[in-house]
A and B are shown apart, each in its own frame.
Chain A
Amino acid sequence: MKAIVNVFLKNGVLDSQGKAVQHALSGHGFGTVSDVRVGKQIIIEMDESNVESAKAKVAQMCEDLLANTVIEDYAIEIQA
């Protein structure tokens, strides 16, 4: 089973990397770009057969280590 975790800065927390990428894109003729956010994706292979159990474990991993919930949100997708 595979877990895909996306971690992004929370809304309201300035994403300096996203802003820099946005300015670069705008400066290169992509004038329709109105916002860019940069995050990270963590892909985890697990020996699990139960989706709910896998999701609960990955959520705990996010709370303990993968995300800093003071500044970041996370989203978990489980692929069988």
Chain B
Amino acid sequence: MKTKVGIIQFPGTNCEYDTQNAFAALGCETQILWHKEDTIPDGTDLLVVAGGFSYGDYLRSGAIAKMSPIMKAVKAFADNGGKVLGICNGFQVLTECGLLPGALKRNEGLHFISRHHHLKVLTNNNTFLKKCAVNDIVNIPIAHHDGNFYIDSEGLSDLYVNDQVLLQYTDEVGNLSNPNGSVDSIAGICNITKNVFGLMPHPERAMESLLGSNDGRRMLEGFLSA
């Protein structure tokens, strides 16, 4: 059966169609969900909070988006065990609304960074990265101004204890290489029940070798129904 993917769209979201294209290429049924909707379509297997600049990132990245009607439905979906993936601005929205721990601050160097970056897979004991091997190095584009992941030391220790740190920024051989000041070079995490995932890099932009990398495929393939 086709995996059914809902992609959340706020005013200012700009990665929804790339995300739709990526999941369609993997054979999924996809649907864009406007933020004023207050229900999630029946049978949805995965919700993606796509990247972009929701509400112009006014106030803070992802802050105003969390007040949108659809976010109540997204929270209920996640609380019920539904799978949710936040990419870039989507990751910021998920931390703002409390579905993921921590926060994303302005990049330490204060610049917007847009380039390919290598990432190391720390764990594959979850739906998202189950098609990757532990210590796999993937090449995925990053494009953000507020990607500096922050969490206090107690929260950080909980993330490691519960196997919630998914990805770290590295060089091509796996040595830590931190582009934005993130705590422990962290690029992606999940919640404790491993059904909500967030990362700053864009796997949906790494679907074709011709465009620089297709490493995003084996990440997103984790969400396909068996």
- In the bound complex, what is the Cα–Cα distance between A19 and B91 (angstroms)? 26
Stretch at the interface among B11-19, B102-110, B196-204, B208-216: B102-110
Residue of A nearest to B61 (CB): A68
Q: How far is the CB of A2 from chain B (nearest CB, A)?
A: 19
Q: How far is the CB of B60 from chain A (nearest CB, A)?
A: 6
- In the bound complex, what is the Cα–Cα distance between A13 and B152 (angstroms)? 9
Interface on A for B, CB 8 Å cutoff? 9, 13-14, 16-17, 20, 64-66, 68, 70-71
Q: Can you list 16 contacts pairing A with B, beta carbon distance less than 8 Å?
A: A9-B105, A16-B105, A16-B106, A16-B107, A16-B109, A16-B110, A17-B106, A64-B67, A65-B64, A65-B66, A66-B59, A68-B103, A70-B95, A70-B102, A70-B103, A71-B105
- Is B150 an interface position by the 8 A CB rule? yes
The 10 A-B pairs of least Cβ separation, nearest first, read: A70-B103, A71-B103, A16-B108, A68-B103, A71-B150, A16-B110, A16-B106, A68-B60, A20-B110, A71-B105
Chain B binding surface SS class: loop
Interface on B for A, CB 8 Å cutoff? 59-60, 63-64, 66-67, 95-96, 101-103, 105-110, 148, 150-151, 181
Enumerate chain B residues within 8 angstroms of A13, measured Cβ to Cβ: 105, 150
Q: How far is the CB of A44 from chain B (nearest CB, A)?
A: 13
Residue of A nearest to B106 (CB): A16
Q: Is the CB of A68 within 8 A of B96?
A: yes
Enumerate chain B residues within 8 angstroms of A64, measured Cβ to Cβ: 67
